[in-house]
Structure 1
Amino acid sequence: MTVAVETGLWQLDHTASTVAVQHKTMWGLVTVKGSFNALSGQGEVKPDGTAQGTITLDAASLDTKHTKRDKHLRSADFFDVDHHPEITFAVQHAEARSDDTAQITGELTVRGISRPQSFTARVTQADAEAVTLEAEFTVDRAEFGMGWNQLGMLRGLTTVVATLRLTRTA
């Protein structure tokens, strides 16, 4: 990605990485926040400096600190974890820019539905052994079959906030 990041295989450090979501509910009055406690991933930096890889989240690991809400989010109304236990982001192309950012293009798959997703990530640390990226982007949950909206309580887009640390494996 940056000049210091070397070609080869990279593994997500799940202990130093986070993926969280935020969504307005109660007619926009309350922001529900949650994070995925189980994630994994790997990637490859190619000789031309571009990268590809995959980030996988255990959909059942979403924790909003509210047991009843978490159970509902795991149900068929939302993530349907019994039939779709994983959320994946397949990075098809990542390319570093001169301003310590990287343009990421890939495919997000939720509930078995895949949609293209592009965003800019900040490179907050990069050397020969590790790279850390921070990104924030929005997702329309309806595009992934999550249309449940009792009394119109849920409005707007879901914000995804990620900090991903990858370490060199080969």
Structure 2
Amino acid sequence: MTVAVETGIWQLDPAASTVGLRHRTFWGLVTVKGTFTAVTGEGEVRADGSATGTVRLDVASLDTGNAKRDTHLHSADLLDAGNHPEITFAARSADRLDGDSVRVTGQLTVRGVGRPLTFTARVASATAEALTLEAEFTVDRDQFGVTWNQLGMMRGLTTVTAGLRFTRTDG
């Protein structure tokens, strides 16, 4: 599918967007899944088809379905929501590839530590009024200072999945 995306300013629709994560724990025997329930963002599509934007995740909104685990994830041991209430991804460029693929390049900031990140997203749908992007990529939490790892239980990469719906705010 090849789709054209309208130029202009786009606002993230939090009710129609999801950002989740998966991480294997207990020496790879258990996969913990969580969802950020508070996601905001905006972007701009330029006349040349490239785009920039920012997505923000409220760290305290991470929900894994286990209150004790969530409290620990929000604590200074891990994501440190008290000192770093947001995880942000600032896209410096989003360039169309073949078909419905988009190469997104930007900076991911977790716990105040920013690192470059490039991944491929898919334009799942696009109209003049709405755009949905889907992506899945991995991050190494150690690179962001998320190093708590009691007894080596939490080695490896964290997988992030995102389904982001944007609505056009200008005509």
TM-score range, shorter chain: over 0.9
Map 1:18-167; keep pairs closer than 5 Å.
Answer: 18-167=18-167
The percentage of aligned residue pairs carrying the same residue is: 64
CA distance, structure 1, for counterparts of residue 104 and residue 142 of structure 2: 22
- Kindly provide the amino acid, as one letter, of the partner of residue 144 in structure 1: F
Counterpart amino acid of residue 101 in structure 2: T
Counterpart Cα distance in 2 of 1:74 and 1:96:
36
Residue 164 of structure 1 aligns with an amino acid whose one-letter code is L
Aligned residues: 169
Q: Deviations over 1:98-123 (max 9, x none)?
A: 32110000000000000000000011
Q: Give the structure-2-normalised TM-score.
A: 0.97
Residues in 1 aligned to 2:106 and 2:32: alpha-carbon distance in whole angstroms: 26
* Runs of at least 4 residues off by over 4 Å: none
Asked whether the 8 Å contact 1:5–1:129 carries over to 2, the reply is no
Work out the CA distance in 1 between the residues paired with 2:57 and 2:22: 16
Deviations 1:109-149 (A, max 9, x none): 00000000000001110111111111000000000101111
Q: Which moved more, 1:92-101 or 1:8-17?
A: 92-101
The 8 Å contact of residues 3 and 100 in structure 2, kept in 1 or not, is answered as no
C-alpha distance in 2, partners of 1:86/1:146? 14
User: What amino acid maps onto 1:108 in structure 2?
Assistant: L
Contact residue 87 and residue 109 of structure 2 kept, 8 A: yes
Other structure's SS at 2:15 match: coil
Q: CA deviation at 1:24?
A: 0.4
Unaligned runs of 5+ in 2: none
Root-mean-square deviation (CA, aligned residues, Å) is 0.9
Code of the residue aligned with 2:118 in structure 1: it is: S
